[in-house]
Amino acid sequence: MTARIIDGKAVARKLRAEYAERIAGLKTHYGVLPGIAVILVGENPASEVYVRNKIAACKDTGIHSELYRLPADTPEATLMARIDALNADPAVHGILVQLPLPPQISLPDVLERIAPDKDVDGFHLYNVGGLVTGNTVFPPCTPFGVQKLLEHEKVEIEGRNVVVVGASNIVGKPMALMLMQQDATVCICHKKTRDLGQFTLLADILVVAAGVPGLIVPQMVKTGAVVIDVGINRLPDGRLVGDVDFEGVRKKASMITPVPGGVGPMTITMLLHNTLVSAERAISAGR
Ligand code: GUN
């Protein structure tokens, strides 16, 4: 068997075109321009790249963006005051504080300060709680992107065995909840899991977000499985690879996402989606 390669770039392009139309419609019918505020604290090189890409994608899709750069030694109170001002600004529909944050700033306090109605990252406890009960407004962007990819590829979820490798708050845990909500049988594996392959071999759908290059080799994959690689790892030789041995596993899987060009382009696309939805909700609520 040779897997079909899921083209995340193409799916992202198609969705972004749909969102751009909806965004243009909001302008025409309501005079509303969806807006996002991005806060970047410090100068983490990876964060710089992510933020640049997010802002470029907003521009392409017709979303207004504002970037607030704060120095690495910014006191927590200064960041909180900025968030408060953005919470109160009706032109801002989404607030994104780029992670990681410097150590003097409490991550949970920051995430809870963002108004749940503007939490386009989906990290506020209110939205996390919604994931548990199955009615979240803003699903977190990376697992949401995976869900959209599976939907686009018409992968059946109900009753299938899903194994999620990685239990982070940003990807693994929300991913597991979202697929459980779609009636999959879900297993979460993580750093302390013993004999990982014993679990991954059961997966009809395997989602890997461990941050370990080459972690998943063909012997750990069921023939015909759908393999979604969320990992993005930079090797010493400069190559960008996922967590899955792509060349090996593609010979065994039925579908597989490449790195780059798989899940990556979907993450920012879902941020655009959430910002658009936030603007639509604000219009409906008369805000
Ligand atoms: N850093 C790495 N991933 C993310 C993300 O999805 N959102 C934010 N705000 N920061 C991140």
What does the alpha-carbon distance between residue 211 and residue 166 come to, in Å, rounded to a whole number? Answer: 8
Cα 136 to Cα 117, 130, 131, 157, 263: the distances in Å are: 11, 4, 5, 19, 21
Give the neighbor-by-neighbor strand order of the sheet with 226-229: 4-5, 255-256, 226-229, 205-208, 161-165, 185-189
Asked, colleague to colleague, whether 31-117 and 141-264 share their fold, the answer is yes
Query: 268: which strand partners?
Result: none
What does the alpha-carbon distance between residue 213 and residue 261 come to, in Å, rounded to a whole number? Answer: 16
Residue of 47, 98, 272 to test ligand 1 pocket, by largest number of atoms within 8 Å of CB: 98
Measured from the CA of 47, which atom of ligand 1 is nearest? 1
What residues have CB less than 8 Å from 280, skipping those under 6 apart? 22, 26
Residue nearest to atom 8 of ligand 1 (CA): 98
State yes or no: is 54 an active-site residue: yes
Q: pLDDT tens digits for the chain (287 residues)?
A: 899 999 999 999 999 999 999 999 999 999 999 999 999 999 999 999 999 999 999 999 999 999 999 999 999 999 999 999 999 999 999 999 999 999 999 999 999 999 999 999 999 999 999 999 999 999 999 999 999 999 999 999 999 999 999 999 999 999 999 999 999 999 999 999 999 999 999 999 999 999 999 999 999 999 999 999 999 999 999 999 999 999 999 999 999 999 999 999 999 999 999 999 999 999 999 98
CATH of 141-264, one of 3.50.50.60, 3.40.50.720, 3.40.30.10, 3.40.50.150: 3.40.50.720
Q: Cβ distance 19 to 276 under 8 Å?
A: yes
By three-state DSSP, how is residue 35 classified?
Answer: strand
Residue nearest to atom 4 of ligand 1 (CA): 99
Element (H, E) at 274: helix 264-284
Residue of 44, 121, 270, 271 to test ligand 1 pocket, by largest number of atoms within 8 Å of CB: 121
State whether the Cα torsion 138-144-150-152 is positive or negative. positive
Residue nearest to atom 11 of ligand 1 (CA): 99
Give me the residue spans of the domains in the chain. 31-117, 141-264
Residues having CB closer than 6 A to ligand 1 are: 96-99, 121, 141-142, 170
Other C-beta atoms lying within 10 Å of the C-beta of residue 182: 17
Other C-beta atoms lying within 10 Å of the C-beta of residue 157: 20
Q: Which CATH architecture has domain 31-117?
A: 3-Layer(aba) Sandwich (3.40)
By three-state DSSP, how is residue 21 classified?
Answer: helix
